Amino acid sequence: MNDDIGRLATREYAVMLPDGTTARLAFALCDPGRDNALARHARRREAVAFGLLGFEGFAEAPANPVLWVQTTAGMEMTVSDSDDRPGPELQRLIARHFALFFDAISDVAPGLSVLPLRAGEDRPC
Task: Tell me whether residue 119 is in a domain.
Answer: no
Task: Tell me whether residue 106 is in a domain.
Answer: yes
Task: Tell me whether residue 19 is in a domain.
Answer: yes
Give the pLDDT confidence of 27-83 residue by residue, as tens digits. 999 999 999 999 999 999 999 999 999 999 998 899 999 999 998 888 899 999 999
Task: Tell me whether residue 87 is in a domain.
Answer: yes
Give the pLDDT confidence of 85-124 residue by residue, as tens digits. 898 889 889 999 999 999 999 999 988 877 766 654 444 3
Q: How far is the C-alpha of 122 from the C-alpha of 109, rounded, in Å?
A: 25
- Confirm whether pTM is higher than 0.95: no
Task: Tell me whether residue 124 is in a domain.
Answer: no
Sheet harboring 22-30: ordered strands across? 7-16, 22-30, 49-56, 66-70, 75-78
Task: Tell me whether residue 23 is in a domain.
Answer: yes
- Which residues constitute the domain of residue 9? 3-114
Count the domains in the chain: 1
Task: Tell me whether residue 52 is in a domain.
Answer: yes
Burial 70-91 (b: 16+ CB within 10 A, else e): bbebbbbbbbeeeeeebeeebb
